[in-house]
Structure 1
């Protein structure tokens, strides 16, 4: 085949090029609702997309398309700084400007399709090396659907605004941090269904490693009202382990038929590990906080103690 150039309407050529055997990797910045028709991926493939809150709210990336790929068994990952559009199979690569969307099919786009083995390997390495990755699972999808419904335009890194190399997951200024002990509870039928859905989408080894993850936090409506941007630090009920901080990433979500229980989506770093509570207490004492009260639920009001707690994980 060699190397060929296609423009200004390359999508028919892209679709034909990716209909090959073997696993495929794709890094496509934005997905329209019709993306699965343009980019026919299947179980075992990897798709990296910009499904950040900004991209979804601006209707540049569709939760409908994300859900389709998840149900098809594709491993879907989100990177908020992604602006590239590249695809690699075992022996062919596509490199160009085209997002997987209807607007791309009516715009002047251009791609290069090649079977040069060095280029194919380089594209696969580029996709596997993308950083700041969040696994797209059912919890992520629920949050994206809520953001889509808000539907207000905001700046998009690389499209209408400047991006950051790694903005991290903590708010620029933390004003509210809470320490909570993990409480075991028996989820109701609605939550059982949610967890069963999520279980179908466990992270597989192909593709880049997820740096962030979303998870549910279930609590009673009578507890302190939480807001997006609040930071939670969890301790096990036996006061043995303290977990890395998680950031509230959604408004309160009512849990049906649960007698007033609510939930929030929390975002956390997948690469951080829990610390034994005695070790954490000693480290905090060394930082000037001999009584950090890690064995009792409370709001951490001291700015210096909040900073010291984050330093336990070098944050």
Structure 2
């Protein structure tokens, strides 16, 4: 689309930049009010990503609409830029009617009680409102809760073997991880001693994972580690161009196995060449099952 895009999207999940790609010069109005932050329906990580990208971001505490206007089209509907909206029954209308496009732009430009989202705003939102926040009712927003979540998805269809790479995360990445882990810690299910969240960084957007994907890691000391389940959509890391992270759900009560022992067990199960030291997607369903059996899963 040519020209700046104007968007009024009430609530942003941490995966908003992937769902709503905006660029420098665009305008985004969002509900980043104290109530929205404390309810964790608008993510400061997403806000920081847009600000860093050069998008002008404004907050309006009364915003509950979802409208986008480009030079030629208008998008009007109920969907927010969040994972919740991708699994809900939403409705969206896209039109190139010039009168509707003009009306959508006028609506967005006329939103009042706005506050500029800048670094001071973000620092306050992250360190106070978000951190002390809790799930509170927001008009028109419902949360689907899973009281007892299983560790593995009902059917493991995507499994990847990855080599552990040691690196020192930046301050912005550490803040991203701490914020997202704090948000998700109450929903991981099970005793804290059993279920834990870990952080996994990727620098190639083409390698993006999906919720429910299973990762198995190996290291340079010939150990293979228990499965980790991707528990979030891609989370952009501020101040980077392509890097993003995922939250991984792991079982702390499962122990690593030596690669030699794992290869022997897998060979006994009919897989003499499992390629445990090579990064790859595990296509064979029977090998995926055999790998999980290393930990009686």
Report TM bin, short chain. Answer: 0.3 to 0.5
* TM-score, normalising length: structure 2: 0.48
